[in-house]
Structure 1
């Protein structure tokens, strides 16, 4: 039984969320509170597995409460707030502080009916959040794509790699895929890189309008340049491109250079953008001149693509279980022998820098 606590200053929200979860036989709402102070009192008596948390509340805001939880007793938190609309910095801040998922409350139409639609897949997200392996965060991750998206292979976007992927004379690229916990992992990696690092392309499972905010924040924190990828961008040393939410990122070869191709398409392995699509494009266009890193995340997106990269001669790495928030995607890659190395998060920056030698 997964125990859930709902923390929101709106009695309507607490009621609708509780009613949404009630039909699930494996979930139980053990309490609700109008603010974090009262929530903490209830939690001390019966600690939940998952907390559904608003941001704007009296006495203490949700982000502050989230940071306290993650520092003192890491607990899976799903943010449900009207402040996380349209790629807001609050959504990025919540993910960096340790939230497993971020959902937005709609502000238009009938509030109660609209809220019920907003949280229609909440039970599935709670089950996923309960699986997260969380660690204390002293300094202050990603929502996954909805579970009702179709599961398709990367073949719907581009053909499988050929036996002999083309290899550039000198240019090297690094491809990174991540999901839940990935925003923290990416920050940990990218902030350790020097401006000399190889060109990087990233797929982080996030909804539309959030990836641009993520890129801007990382760009402020890092020595390297970080930006949301646009169609035709050249992959350059000292720069990381992040796939826009809702679009697939494909790497294509042009002469001795690599260009970003940002395309629309159906979800692959339940996600758009999909790590499998990015990795397959690396296998096709770069072969042994590419390095693939598959980081923390729920599900199996990226595992098959990493396998294709390895078969094309690329160096492939999966994050180890101990340093993952969720050991799902790397675990599947390891299971199918897609990874040349299995390394902790703090070793990833060294792997990237080593490609310069």
Structure 2
């Protein structure tokens, strides 16, 4: 059963949508919200699998809320609105579906059919999203569950065997909360002649492919959702797929991707620590590591190893971060050479690739 949060300022429309969704096998409306701020609290409380969003709402319009949702808490969202003219635009903002509200004189059965068709077409995505989604409503009781929930050190997934001599240049980027929009801004400023770029962004399972496509469309680089065994190429970037660690290994052609379906590290899979340690093991001092906005401390352990091994490391500054957690932890550990504003990160990457900075 997939749970749904219905967001609409109209009580009658919420009731109509709720009844129609509850009439679909596999779907249940778990809560309703009257505006974006109410929705924010309901998402925290109920952790729904899907939200439906109206565009015309008080306090904050649905488009702004959708953009904020994709930036801070990416999850499946379907827009249900009378503004059909925005049908194409909302997909660029991160929606996975659009359903137009009934026009004057249109039978409700037609509206119900549109809702049913749209939601049933999304079950493949929802299955992927919910497959590994944690359920905060359940209390962890079993020893096995407690073991999975404990904080795993990167040593338990990938041993540290740092390369002392720098290999061919590789750039590794780690980010979490706020990273989606921040990465889009960085990639918009990059050129297509850079060394391979590897990215670990904490993103839910099922969303990494669409985010890789968004990065690709906003950049001169060719951006892929990483698959196992991809040869790293100049002018290309590789995004860790949701729910898989991204690492690299040496091969006859240089470097290639290696995905690991193992336990979470620092409560995350993909983990920045796993990516950074892999890059340190394989590339060593030839690498550049970039720590961007995010909550928690993922990446700080391996970034310190990169820094101590002679790699060039930078962190996003507090002013330009949505959450100054991951960069702050890396700075506190002495893992960062330069602290950089978001607007300048692209130029630092370009300068590193040309040998202007180390």
Partner in structure 2 of residue 300 of structure 1: 297
Partner in structure 2 of residue 157 of structure 1: 157
Task: Tell me which of 206, 210, 235 is aligned to 1:209.
Answer: 206
Q: Helix, strand or coil for the counterpart of 2:194?
A: coil
Partner in structure 2 of residue 269 of structure 1: 266
CA distance in 1, matches of 2:66, 2:93: 13
What runs of 5+ residues in structure 2 fail to find an aligned partner?
9-13, 23-27, 80-88, 96-118, 124-129, 139-147
* 1:254 lines up with 2:251 in the alignment: yes
CA distance in 1, matches of 2:312, 2:73: 35
String of CA shifts for 1:293-325, please: whole Å, max 9, x gaps.
011111110111111110111001111111111
TM-score by length of 2: 0.67
String of CA shifts for 1:3-55, please: whole Å, max 9, x gaps.
xx98353669999448xxxxxxxxxxxxx41xxxxx37xx7xxx998574975
Structure-2 change in CA distance of 1:92 and 1:155 (3 Å):
farther
Q: Helix, strand or coil for the counterpart of 1:230?
A: coil
Alignment check: 8 A CA contact 2:63 2:93 kept:
no
Q: Helix, strand or coil for the counterpart of 2:93?
A: helix
Alignment check: 8 A CA contact 1:83 1:90 kept:
no
String of CA shifts for 1:131-151, please: whole Å, max 9, x gaps.
xxxxxxxxxxxxxxxxx8431
Alignment check: 8 A CA contact 1:206 1:245 kept:
yes
Q: How does 1:9-158 map to 2 (within 5 A)?
A: 9=14, 16-17=30-31, 32-33=33-34, 39=35, 52=43, 56-57=52-53, 60=56, 65-68=61-64, 83=78, 93-94=93-94, 120-121=135-136, 149-158=149-158
Alignment check: 8 A CA contact 1:6 1:51 kept:
no
Alignment check: 8 A CA contact 1:149 1:271 kept:
no
RMSD: 4.1
CA distance in 2, matches of 1:251, 1:218: 21
Q: Helix, strand or coil for the counterpart of 2:259?
A: strand
What runs of 5+ residues in structure 1 fail to find an aligned partner?
19-31, 34-38, 96-104, 109-114, 124-147
Aligned length: 284
Structure 1 residue 93, shift from structure 2 partner: 2.9
Structure-2 change in CA distance of 1:321 and 1:255 (3 Å):
same
CA distance in 1, matches of 2:292, 2:166: 25
Partner in structure 2 of residue 134 of structure 1: none
Question: Which structure has the greater CA radius of gyration?
Answer: 2
